[in-house]
């Protein structure tokens, strides 16, 4: 890249002894330049936003595990002893209940034993000496059959895990874009400092030559004073450029961290000597939009949220139905005792339960429908926005690469003029004011090329982010 070379050279003809001599200057580098990949790797490994996204995934997985706990078998044990009274008796009851995801069927199995004497109205508590084994099922025939709160919760938490994973990818994608912008701003401001340092060095070297010529009487003293003004002006611009560079370094440190995850400031010598330009052929916009609509993680996350919302709609629609359940059980007493307790028992029954007004069920259903429709509207808006973002990102990228081409030519022209003007000044056919203007124009052209190349790299990062490919 010629940007920095043009800036440092500026035709920077340096005063040497009795005249001007054009000599190129370089900025020494004491270490390897920091690359964008270095920044992206550091950000991907240590940035707090990604760590927070990982914790969100862990929380969602915890919720999913908790939802599955609705089908954990439940053991209940109870006992009662009548220590004093007309009827002395005791009971011990143990039951294991198991809910299932199969149409909401619940099953149970238990054992109970009752001993002592019981009044007639509590005869069901009595068992043979070996106790009673029993088992049964409860089958929802309408409400809670196709779907119930437990199955809905599992499906929703599964969708939320996927949504959290998509959000992590969205965070990674956005973080890469932000890191790229911070990096290229740091590089651009670092090169601006080098441009201003080179420009200042020219004026300082010229100052020494002018003083020598003024001391010999071959040059009016006013030329020395005027060049001193240029030195001070360029020192002020260097201070301003250094401030911008320090601010950019601090911004970049948010993406560069040590093993302890603390921000680290990049060293000045790590600024690359050049910013790549490059040229991007016009893409197939429709194909890239299609790719973005498939791969953008924000869309994936919202689709998972909508999936969870649709599960809620199904649940609340079902909850409006009457709770009609069928039950069946079998029981068998073991051991000795009254003969009427010995036969195996089979029984079946049903229950019906339904609020008459159904206001709660109807209200929940309306709210669930509204939530799902809200997400549908957000999805339409997001799809439209993604298409616009891809198109706008290409416009910005195309504009940026055109600017690179133009500013590269500006640097060449400005450099040629600065070289020619210095040669005229050396021959006495020009003055310091015009030389200064030419040098400033060359420096400005170099600065504009740096900015254009940084803008191109930023626009490229924006385009890759918009399409969902990432850096």
- Average pLDDT for 382-387: 97
Nearest-angstrom CA–CA distance, 160 and 451: 43
What is the reported pLDDT for 2? Answer: 40
* pLDDT tier, 226 (very low <50, low <70, confident <90, very high otherwise): confident
- Average pLDDT for 135-139: 97
Reference 459, options 404, 381, 386; nearest CA is 404
CB 273 within 8 A of CB 231: no
What is the value of pTM for the model shown? 0.81
Nearest-angstrom CA–CA distance, 468 and 125: 68
Q: How far is CA 395 from the centre of its chain?
A: 24
What is the reported pLDDT for 22? Answer: 29
What is the reported pLDDT for 14? Answer: 28
What is the reported pLDDT for 86? Answer: 75
Q: Where are the alpha helices (DSSP H) in 83-220?
A: 149-215
> What tokens appear for 81 in the block?
């002893």
* pLDDT tier, 222 (very low <50, low <70, confident <90, very high otherwise): confident
pLDDT in tens, 336-348: 888 888 899 999 9
Residues of the chain with CATH 1.20.1600.10: 3-65+151-307+373-467
pLDDT in tens, 257-275: 888 889 999 999 999 988 8
**SS3 category, 266:** coil
Q: Give first-to-last CA distance, the chain, whole Å.
A: 22
What is the reported pLDDT for 7? Answer: 41
What is the reported pLDDT for 141? Answer: 94
pLDDT in tens, 399-452: 999 999 999 999 999 989 988 988 888 787 877 778 888 888 998 999 999 999
Residue 245 reports pLDDT greater than 60: yes
> What DSSP designation does 73 have?
-
Superfamily of domain 3-65+151-307+373-467: Outer membrane efflux proteins (OEP) (1.20.1600.10)
- Please report where in the chains the tokens 């939530």 appear, as a residue: 371
Share of the chain above pLDDT 70, in %: 92
């Amino acid at each position: 890249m010629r940007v920095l070379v043009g800036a440092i050279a500026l035709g920077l003809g340096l005063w040497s002894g009795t005249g001007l001599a054009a000599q190129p200057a370089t900025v020494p580098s004491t270490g390897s330049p920091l690359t964008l990949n270095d920044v992206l790797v550091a950000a991907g490994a240590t940035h707090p936003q990604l760590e927070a996204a990982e914790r969100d995934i862990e929380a969602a997985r915890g919720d999913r595990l908790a939802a599955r706990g609705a089908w954990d078998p439940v053991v209940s044990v109870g006992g009662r002893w009548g220590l004093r009274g007309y009827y002395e008796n005791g009971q011990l009851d143990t039951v294991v209940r198991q809910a299932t995801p199969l149409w909401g069927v619940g099953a149970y199995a238990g054992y109970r034993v009752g001993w002592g004497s019981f009044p007639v109205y509590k005869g069901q508590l009595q068992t043979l000496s070996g106790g009673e084994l029993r088992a049964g099922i409860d089958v929802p025939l309408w409400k809670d059959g196709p779907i119930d709160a437990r199955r809905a919760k599992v499906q929703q938490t599964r969708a939320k895990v996927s949504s959290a994973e998509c959000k992590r990818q969205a965070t990674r994608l956005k973080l890469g874009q932000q890191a790229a912008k911070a990096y290229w701003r740091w590089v651009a401001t670092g090169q601006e400092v080098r441009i201003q340092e080179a420009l200042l060095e020219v004026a300082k070297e010229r100052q020494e030559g002018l003083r020598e010529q003024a001391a010999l009487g071959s040059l009016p003293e006013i030329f020395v004073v005027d060049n001193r003004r240029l030195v001070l002006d360029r020192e002020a611009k260097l201070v301003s450029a250094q401030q911008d560079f320090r601010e950019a370094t601090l911004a970049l440190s948010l993406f560069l961290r040590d093993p302890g995850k603390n921000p680290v400031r990049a060293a000045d010598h790590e600024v690359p000597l050049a910013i790549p330009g490059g040229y991007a052929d016009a893409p197939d916009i429709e194909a890239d939009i299609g790719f973005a609509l498939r791969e953008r993680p924000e869309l994936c996350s919202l689709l998972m949220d909508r999936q969870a919302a649709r599960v809620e709609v199904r649940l609340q629609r079902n909850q409006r139905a009457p709770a009609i359940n069928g039950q069946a059980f079998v029981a068998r007493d073991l051991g000795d005792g009254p003969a009427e307790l010995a036969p195996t028992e089979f029984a079946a029954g049903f229950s019906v339960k339904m609020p008459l007004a159904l206001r709660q069920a109807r209200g929940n259903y309306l709210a669930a429908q509204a939530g799902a429709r809200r997400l549908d509207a957000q999805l339409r808006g997001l799809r439209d926005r993604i298409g616009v973002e891809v198109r706008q990102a290409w416009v910005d990228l195309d504009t940026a690469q055109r600017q690179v081409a133009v500013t590269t030519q500006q640097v060449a022209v400005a450099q040629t003029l600065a070289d020619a003007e210095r040669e005229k000044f050396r021959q006495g056919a020009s003055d310091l004011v015009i030389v200064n203007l030419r040098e400033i124009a060359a420096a400005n052209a170099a600065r504009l090329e740096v900015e254009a190349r940084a803008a191109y790299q930023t626009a490229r990062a924006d385009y890759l982010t918009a399409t969902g490919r990432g850096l």
